[in-house]
Amino acid sequence: MKNDEKKKNFSYHLQQLLAGQNRTKKQICQDLGIKPATLSAWLKEEKFPRKDRLEDVASYFHTDIEELTGPVDTDDSTDAPCLSPVQPPYEAKLVDTIRLLLEVSPEELSSIADYAAFIHQRNR
C-alpha cells in the first residue's frame, strides 16, 4: 500500500472514530500524549503516525491497527439506513446511548424498546 493511501485511509478511519467520541480533540490529544498539530496533520493526510503511535490510537479507540489503516469502504449500502438521517449534534449522544444499552439485561432492553415504540407512536 502506498504511503499516500495509508495516510488517506488512516485519516478517514480516525475521523469516523472522533465523530463518535463525546470528548474534544484537545482532550483526546492529552489522553494520547500528542500535540494538537500532530492530530491535525493526521486528519489532513499530511503525516502518518509511527507504529507506537498507531498502537496507542488503536488501544485508545478499542480497535486494531488493521482497522485504522485498512481500505476505506466506499460502498454506502452497508450503512444502516436508519442511522443515515442522524444529525451531527445527536451522533455522540446516540453512540453513548448505544454503549449504555450494551450493558443492560435482555429484560431491561425489552422494556426500553417497548418504551421507545410507545414514544414513537405517540409522536406520530
Instruction: Go through the domains of the chain in sequence order and give each one's CATH number.
Output: 3-69 (1.10.260.40), 81-122 (no CATH)
Q: In Å, how far from its chain's centre is CA 28? A: 13
Mean pLDDT, rounded, for 12-30: 88
pLDDT for the residue numbered 55 = 95
CA distance 75 to 105: 34
CA distance 61 to 80: 21
pLDDT for the residue numbered 20 = 78
pTM of the predicted model as reported, rounded to 2 decimal places: 0.58
Burial of 57 (0-12, 13-18, 19+ CB in 10 A): buried
Q: What is the per-residue pLDDT across 72-120, written as a single tens digit (0 to 9) for each?
A: 876 544 445 455 566 666 777 777 888 888 888 888 888 988 898 888 8
Q: Which amino acid is at 49?
A: P
- DSSP assignment letter at 22: S
Cβ atoms 91, 99 nearer than 8 A: no
